Structure 1
Amino acid sequence: MTTGPDAAKLVGLLADDTRLAVVAALALGATDIPSVAEATGRSQTEVALAARRLGRGGLVRRDGAELELRRELFAAAARDAGEHRPPPDPLSDDPAADAVLQAFVADGRLTSIPSHRAKRLVVLDHLVRVFEPGLRYPEREVNALLAVWHPDTAALRRYLVDEGMLSREAGVYWRSGGTVEV
């Protein structure tokens, strides 16, 4: 088991420009204070101070002027952060639909438009909920609402119309399908 800084402490160690430059130089093959100073354009004193702080944080091993980046700590911190991440909030009460949505929606945005029709229908049903039943929307407003989800508003608009979730006439759209919460 590798012990070292957790992800937050690791990011804190890298938040300083000089320490970040030192880590980058070490990752690219520098092995001592003079070579890191040359690679970073920093003075040897600046490098030594940064290396000292990185050493206290557990990210760098120091032996005199020799430096060694503990690369394994990055993977360990990432694994640890992933293990402690709370599960995402469900996007649907239906477990099958939620699985599809979790695969295609991240941080409130559509990462890609599913090519498989069944999955696309689940995503479109989720997206169409931004449109209030009974309201009419000009195309400009439809594009603005869909742009929040994905930059290809034309494709989303076309899919929503083709699947009968939105209807269109003379540049005006209205919700005509999809699941409605009661």
Structure 2
Amino acid sequence: GRLAMDTYFKTCRAKEEIERLNIEIRQVLTYLHNEERYLCACAAQLQPDHPSLCHQILQRLKVRARFTPEHLFTLQKLTSLKGFSGSLTIGQSARCELGDSASTPKARVPTQHDVSIPQAVSDEPGDFDEGWEEEEEEEEELAEHVETLHNILQISDDHHHPHNTDDSSDIM
């Protein structure tokens, strides 16, 4: 009884959730594309005068690039599921302010007058890792969204094409 009710209510919301995730999938693809383009452009701008900063940007790009093929492969697998109605085309980002991944970078190194020096600098080993942990959390969140879409499409497909075709099991 409870499993049937849970499945029924999940099925009722499946279409809305599929539409929402279809939008999010396209946003992820757009972001991945824009972020790579942005980081490459920043590195190219900084290479002549600040090669060490360029190197750091390229290192960040390498870290992000390790995950991109895996995400693209997973998203590509979703397109083969029954009920998938999204698109794997890159969209146009609505966020194009300076610093956003879709913006045109204007990389520059701040002068001493532009930078306020903090009073205390922490040498704690965990301080550097905070940014990477956020990226890992974003990666995990994306994986959860992909899994959710897969489950919704599976439930939706099961609802529209029941495996049990025996009419004697229907309750009237």
User: Normalised by the size of structure 2, how large is the TM-score?
Assistant: 0.24
More strand by share: 1
Higher relative CO (CA 8 A, sep ≥ 6), structure 1 or 2?
2
User: Normalised by the size of structure 1, how large is the TM-score?
Assistant: 0.23
More helix by share: 2
CA radius of gyration, larger in: 1
